[in-house]
Amino acid sequence: MRKKGVIGDFLKIELGDGFHAYARLLDGSNFAFYNKRANCDIPLDEIKNMEIAFTIAVMGDAVKGGGWSVIGNVPLDEKLKTIPPKFTQDIFDKNKFRIFENGEFRSATKAECEGLERSAVWSRVHVEDRLRDYFSGLENKWVKSLSIK
């Protein structure tokens, strides 16, 4: 298996509890994480049609460092070529927000940002923690730390 990810790659992520999750490499450093954990391998055609739980940016070591296994590649469907919008919150003025969408920032209200992912680049281990919590129905401390203040 190659060490560097390519857009459209499917990845298998071991969760350390006998289960694994699946993700898909999108444009840039963005990954879509599927809403399913499994204890046996699932064919790519089935994974491709699963619901996406969340989409976030992840540091390059997740694939390049051998942490996640590339299990195949299929060109992205049109719906996966557009990255969901993300928000930022000014660190000095907590009442100032922006949304990053389609490669551009725009001013936004707090209400517009509710429910969006914060613009951040996640480490591999934090994503794995988030996936374990997600599948266990638990609040994730990393998601909470990035929530709107």
Helix (H, G, I), strand (E, B) or coil at 2: coil
In the predicted model, is pLDDT for residue 64 greater than 80? no
The residue segments making up the domain with residue 126 are: 1-80+119-149
pLDDT band at 1 (very low <50, low <70, confident <90, very high): very low
If asked whether residues 12 and 60 sit together in one domain, one would say: yes
Q: Quote the mean pLDDT of the chain.
A: 93
* Token reading at 4: 């560097």
In the predicted model, is pLDDT for residue 114 greater than 50? yes
If asked whether residues 40 and 75 sit together in one domain, one would say: yes
Q: What's the total number of domains in the chain?
A: 2
Q: How far apart are CA 54 and CA 69, in angstroms?
A: 19
Q: How far apart are CA 79 and CA 127, in angstroms?
A: 23
